Amino acid sequence: MKLSLIVALVGAGWLAAQSPKPSNPLGDAPAVAEAGRLLYNRSCTSCHGPDGGEGARGPALDFAGRRYFRVSEAAIFDVVKNGIAGTAMPASGLPDTDVWGIVAFVRNIRATASDLVVPGDERNGMAVFTGVGGCSKCHMIRGQGGVLGPDLSSIGAQASLNRLRDSLTKQRAIPNGYRPVTVTTLKGEVFRGVARNSDAFSLQLLDESGKLRLFEMSELRSAVFAKESLMPYGFDKTLNKTQFQDLLAMLSRQTRTKVKPTLQGENEVGR
């Protein structure tokens, strides 16, 4: 009994080590992807952008690009080695080891946070989200929380780990639909929120309670747009290390799509 259990465990360990064997002979260590990044920046940026971004003559290769078709290591290897016939994408002429390094880099920039193992305690991360972090004042996860910021219920599947970390630590440009605005009507009423839509004639404001309000510009005394996003940053400094890491881990594991009631009245969750 005992022996067979040990054999089973050893067997499982062996399988785990063997089965998802990466086809990339260089392995998947972060250093391999980093070396690939340097090679890429040297060989490919006459067309594609630096670090895999959009370039003048080639598409973005990273997750943000999202227009890529080749997913497997073998397919990316083939494209980089042989080019794409009938397009501007040339064969690289690089030795196979260099090509594999670049493959590791491309795979790395395409990963979403949920593709990676982010260490940390998810439950504690949720406690930070609703507690000391104050995140749930503005963000919803699975139906709980505020509405001024985006719903984060599937953020782990939508954002790379870098984008997640940057949103928590750095000041960034305000995305469309989230510019904070304060309007004062001709009658003197004041409303605050984010501008969902605005043009020369009208402005649609989402207020803290989730109410959409539509104003004609002609009924406003003023509409003052803020230059900075409502999204606070610097959480790597205001939270302690454990809190920050747990929060990041919790966000990376949010991969639910919207809860949509089915005909039977059940709640269908997940992808």
The distance from CA 121 to its chain's CA centroid, rounded to whole angstroms, is 19
Distance of closest approach, residue 115 Cβ to ligand HEC, in angstroms: 16
The C-alpha atoms of residue 189 and residue 184 are separated, in whole angstroms, by 6
The residue among 120 and 133 lying less far from ligand HEC, judged by its C-beta, is 133
- Give me the sign of the Cα torsion angle 105, 111, 116, 118: positive
Distance of closest approach, residue 9 Cβ to ligand HEC, in angstroms: 38
Is residue 114 within 8 Å of 103, Cβ to Cβ? no
Segment near ligand HEC (CB under 6 A); pick from 4-12, 81-89, 210-218, 258-266:
81-89
* Contact characters 38-67, ligand HEC, x per CB under 6 A: --x--xx-xxx--------xxx-x------
Query: If phi over 0 gives left and psi between -120 and 50 gives alpha, with beta otherwise, what is residue 41?
Result: alpha
Residues that contact ligand HEC, how many (by CB under 6 A):
49
Told to check if 88 binds ligand HEC by CB under 6 A, we report: yes
Number of residues that this document lists for the chain: 271
Neighbours of 164 (CB within 10 A): 22
Residues 125-184 that bind ligand HEC (CB under 6 A): 129, 133-135, 137-139, 148-150, 155, 159, 163-164, 167-168, 174-175, 178
The C-alpha atoms of residue 166 and residue 68 are separated, in whole angstroms, by 24
Distance of closest approach, residue 170 Cβ to ligand HEC, in angstroms: 10
The C-alpha atoms of residue 208 and residue 202 are separated, in whole angstroms, by 20
Binding site for ligand HEC (CB under 6 A): 40, 43-44, 46-48, 57-59, 61, 68-70, 76, 79-80, 84, 87-90, 92, 102, 106, 129, 133-135, 137-139, 148-150, 155, 159, 163-164, 167-168, 174-175, 178, 229-232, 235, 247
